[in-house]
Amino acid sequence: MRILITGITGFAGSHLADYILEKFPEVEIFGIKRWRSKTENIEHLKDNVKYFDCDIKDAHNVYEVIDEIKPDKIFHLAAQSYVPASWEAPVETLTLNIAGQTNMLEAIKKVKSKNSDYDPVILVAGSSEEYGKVYENEVPIKETNPLRPLSPYGVSKVCQDLLGYQYWNSYKIRVIRSRAFNHSGPRRGEVFVDSNFAQQIAKIEKGKQDPVIKVGNLEAKRDFTDVRDIVQAYWVATDKCKPGEAYNMCSGQTHSIQQVLDKLLSLSTNKEIKVEEDPARMRPSDVLILSGDNTKFKEATGWEPKINYLDKTLVDMLNYWRERV
């Protein structure tokens, strides 16, 4: 089997490659990356993955890669994934996320039309951010909840998700529409909340930052899952889920950002850290609560998250930063 991971240099992509190498060593893994992408997350994968330089905004480039590899499974994870960056530069986020996926689906369509027995499955990465404004009486969120995105990023993910629906219905391209909720772990980008707090604590412990941790909105609530559980969910989804259907992927462990901060502070060796609100970290329209119902996905696949977010994911993430700052 040949599989392609877009966004392999990123957080979830590199963990997915680790998972496949460990569980299915016979699978051939291909990855695409931009020539200027940082490669620290994939240094350890060097000998086990074949890379293609490819910009997903370039339709012909994407077509050439799909035509050459003809992957059986595609995990389309490449995206601009940081919500605040989408307010700073909405066009970049919308273009990369929507055009990138359209190029991928069009490439599959073309290669399929030339090779009648080519019938890959593609997992597209939607997000719980698609649900956006959710009222307290609408949780836990099911796949049938309304989509009310509150950022250009959320809008881009609704579009990616619905493109998946459309390409299945129009061309029978087997698209699995994943809607993962927040996921974390070692290698998580430093801009995301838990990773950012963990990095600040590690710096404070080493005397590289004053003992003051900067924070944004601590009242928001998120459903957190360990990335190592999410990548397993991505894999089983491509074996067991129905094309054209959307699936929530989440643990159901919902915590306020205040709880995440408190847990990380309790893990620190420095007990004198002060907390300071940083106005620059507040959002024009924050999503207040994302708490998911994963029944549909569990029934389809038998997947169960195994890693406790507060007790394991956060500890691993803090240790990851302690080794790096």
Q: Under the rule (CB under 6 A), what is the footprint of ligand GDD? A: 81, 83, 127-129, 181-182, 191-193, 196, 215-218, 220, 222, 257, 281, 283, 286, 290
Q: Is 270 helix (H, G, I), strand (E, B) or coil?
A: coil
Nearer to ligand GDD, 120 or 292 (CB): 292
CB 239, min distance to ligand GDD, A: 23
Q: Which position's Cβ is nearest ligand GDD?
A: 216
Q: How far is the CB of 114 from ligand GDD (least distance, A)?
A: 34
What is the residue whose two structure tokens read 């569980």?
23
How far apart, in whole angstroms, are the C-alpha atoms of residue 189 and residue 169? 35
Which of 117, 80, 123, 118 lies closest to 104 in space, CA to CA?
A: 123
Distance of alpha carbon 146 from alpha carbon 154, whole angstroms: 13
DSSP readout, 63-100? HHHHHHH--SEEEE--S---HHHHHHSHHHHHIIIIIH
Q: Provide the token pair at 60.
A: 């012909």
Q: How far is the CB of 284 from ligand GDD (least distance, A)?
A: 11
CA–CA dist 145, 124 (Å, integer): 19
Instruction: Give min distance, CB of 169 to ligand GDD, in A.
Output: 24
Give the nearer residue to ligand GDD in terms of CB position, either 111 or 178: 178
User: Given the complex with ligand GDD, which of 194 and 205 has the nearer CB atom?
Assistant: 194
**Least distance (Å) between residue 144 CB and ligand GDD:** 18
User: For residues 48 and 259, which CB has a smaller minimum distance to ligand GDD in the complex?
Assistant: 259
**Which residues fall within 8 angstroms of residue 44, CB to CB, at 6 or more apart?**
none
- Residue with smaller CB distance to ligand GDD, 176 or 257: 257
Q: Output DSSP code: residue 136.
A: G
Q: State the nearest-atom distance from the C-beta of 200 to ligand GDD, in Å.
A: 9
Residues 222, 178: Cα–Cα separation, whole Å = 17
C-beta of 109 vs 283, nearer to ligand GDD = 283
For residue 304 the two structure tokens come to 């169960």
Nearer to ligand GDD, 119 or 278 (CB): 278
Q: Are 25 and 49 in contact (CB under 8 A)?
A: no
Q: How far is the CB of 177 from ligand GDD (least distance, A)?
A: 14
Rounded Cα gap, residues 311 and 317, in angstroms: 11
DSSP state of 38: -
